[in-house]
Amino acid sequence: MATDPPDEAPDPADALAIIAAQRALAEDTRPSSTWIFALWGTAWLLGYGAMWLTAGDDRRPSLLAVVVAIGLGLVAVVLTIVHVLRRTHGIAGAGARQGALYGWAWPIGFVAQSLIVGGLGRAGASDEVTGLAANAIAALVVGLLYIAGGLLWDDTGMYVVGGWMALVGAAAALTGLPASYLVMALAGGGGMLALGLVTRIRPRA
């Protein structure tokens, strides 16, 4: 009676190739923290930097600098949504739903931030108070969303920078205007760019 031949031991090279292919697939469907750090770091460095450089004796930045900062922030929000949705588009089931919900959390957070700042202004808050609140809440929104992304995709770098951004926003609120803009530009934008460079040089294992 013939017997089936014993199973051959798997080739280590084939096993490593399968592992590498699965890792590459996971990288392709996970948002790039390096890209997001570079995007937001550039937006904050340029936007808040312009506001600090144009702040006059009344501690108010020029209208053009404010428009540039807001415009860069909006561009960063839109590109973040597009990036996350594109990266998670090929994932089926819960993964796709999580990616979509995360992507749309960005505009929700910034709409809420705008409404809060507007409410403070209507309640009689001074320009300095509303300016400090706008910066701090924006940093808090970005920080918490980074933390959520770090948890969602098991990305320690994203989690760490999220905590850093939240603390930067709090520290900037304590410095007053216009120093707050400089803190947001250098510690916020510069910090994200530095971490983006680190994650680029030393990708996650």
**pLDDT tens string 115-169:** 999 999 999 999 889 989 999 999 999 999 989 989 988 888 889 889 999 999 9
| Mean pLDDT calculated for residue range 179-202 | 88
Output the DSSP codes for 115-159.
HHHHHHHHTT--HHHHHHHHHHHHHHHHHHHHHHHHHHTT-HHHH
What is the pLDDT at residue 59?
Answer: 85
Only one residue has tokens 């819960």, namely 94
**pLDDT tens string 189-200:** 998 899 888 877
Please state the domain extents for the chain. Answer: 32-201
| Mean pLDDT calculated for residue range 57-63 | 88
What is the pLDDT at residue 185?
Answer: 95
Q: Is the pLDDT of residue 46 over 80?
A: yes
Of 68-72, 95-99, 187-191, 193-197, the poorest mean pLDDT is in 95-99
Tokens representing 136?
């701090």
What is the pLDDT at residue 97?
Answer: 78
| Mean pLDDT calculated for residue range 61-76 | 93
pTM for the predicted model, two decimal places: 0.75
What is the pLDDT at residue 103?
Answer: 82
Q: Determine whether 189 is exposed, middle or buried from the number of CB atoms within 10 Å of its CB (0-12, 13-18, 19+).
A: buried
Only one residue has tokens 């706008």, namely 134
